[in-house]
Chains A and B, each alone.
Chain A
């Protein structure tokens, strides 16, 4: 397998969905190709960094407004049940 071919299959390899036969080829190539090894490692770290990153803080004023609005809307749509 050449570097260029490996590049096209990167997703499958990183996600673990690659065909076992191709996986074998992949690993053989990686064993002898440092740049490709590092690229694969870089990609894994890139994904981890974003996946495990901290979300933004929701602005406080907006958050209060949002919850108040939702409560109000909830009561409007569900609070008024017919009295038996």
Chain B
């Protein structure tokens, strides 16, 4: 995971003009930026463009980085904005600011009720060893609505706080929480259908509607 103290030291040295420190930061984070980009934009070429754009932007704005947030949070914000810019361009939308793209309150969203309920046959540690897992994880992510996927990527995968996630996406914290819940439940459903032991499947609790 991220080591804030190490990052802070590297950022300090980079700001002071040390290229090697800047390169070290790039080395540390390029795979994660690329992975986030890929999961948002969905394909390799665009993900490369986003990654490049992100680090160029970091280079350009490093002097102005006030370090109120961690370097990791700042970096992921830049990467997210770059990725969303690509998506908007693809759809022929004007590249307006994120705030103007904010949807109204999600409070009315229906929370999906779990249907396939079963203990998983393997632990996440064991599963992570299997090479085909990454494809399956990404396939499941791709099935989510973009607005749910984005929140999950920043909050749960990148470990940003609800507050940081809200700031990065121009949402209220309430919206983040609703979308996060939906994302988690949907992914749980998809992955449990894959990994759950059908022999130990449980009947879901009865619910209204």
Q: Check A3 against B32 for contact (C-beta < 8 Å).
A: no
Q: Check A3 against B205 for contact (C-beta < 8 Å).
A: yes
| Contact-residue bracket for chain A | 35 or more
**Roughly how many angstroms separate A13 CA and B180 CA in the complex, as a whole number?**
13
Q: Which of B34, B48, B156, B205 makes the CB contact (< 8 A) with A36?
A: B205
Q: List residues of B (179-209) whose CB comes within 8 Å of A's CBs.
A: 180-181, 184-185, 187-188, 191-192, 196, 202-205, 207-208
**Roughly how many angstroms separate A45 CA and B208 CA in the complex, as a whole number?**
27
Q: Check A70 against B202 for contact (C-beta < 8 Å).
A: no
> Is B55 at the interface (CB under 8 A from chain A)?
yes
Among A11, A41, A49, the most chain B Cβ lie within 10 Å of the Cβ of: A49
Q: How far is the CB of A28 from chain B (nearest CB, A)?
A: 15
Contact with B along A26-42 (1 / 0, CB 8 A): 00000001111011011
Chain B facing A: main interface SS:
helix
Cβ contacts under 8 Å, B30 to chain A: 58, 63, 66
When C-beta atoms are compared, the residue in chain A nearest to B60 turns out to be A77
Q: List residues of B (131-149) whose CB comes within 8 Å of A's CBs.
A: 133-134, 137
A70 with B23, Cβ < 8 A, contacts A54-B128, A58-B30 known:
yes
Q: Check B31 against A53 for contact (C-beta < 8 Å).
A: no
Q: Check A46 against B111 for contact (C-beta < 8 Å).
A: no
Q: Check B184 against A47 for contact (C-beta < 8 Å).
A: yes
Q: Check B31 against A58 for contact (C-beta < 8 Å).
A: yes
A51 with B156, Cβ < 8 A, contacts A33-B205, A67-B26 known:
yes
Q: Check B188 against A11 for contact (C-beta < 8 Å).
A: no
Q: Check B156 against A47 for contact (C-beta < 8 Å).
A: yes
Q: How far is the CB of A76 from chain B (nearest CB, A)?
A: 10
Q: Check B51 against A11 for contact (C-beta < 8 Å).
A: no
Cβ contacts under 8 Å, A36 to chain B: 205
Q: Check B19 against A53 for contact (C-beta < 8 Å).
A: no
Q: Which of A10, A34, A53, A63 makes the CB contact (< 8 A) with B202?
A: A34
Contact with A along B145-186 (1 / 0, CB 8 A): 000000010001101000000000000000001001100110
Interface pairs (22), CB distance under 8 Å = A7-B111, A7-B113, A7-B114, A8-B111, A35-B114, A35-B117, A38-B118, A42-B120, A46-B187, A46-B191, A47-B184, A53-B137, A56-B31, A56-B35, A56-B134, A57-B31, A58-B30, A58-B31, A58-B34, A70-B59, A73-B56, A74-B22
Question: Which residues in B have some Cβ–Cβ distance to A below 8 Å?
Answer: 17, 19, 22-23, 26, 30-32, 34-35, 38, 44, 48, 51-52, 55-56, 59-60, 111, 113-114, 117-120, 123-125, 127-128, 133-134, 137, 152, 156-157, 159, 177, 180-181, 184-185, 187-188, 191-192, 196, 202-205, 207-208
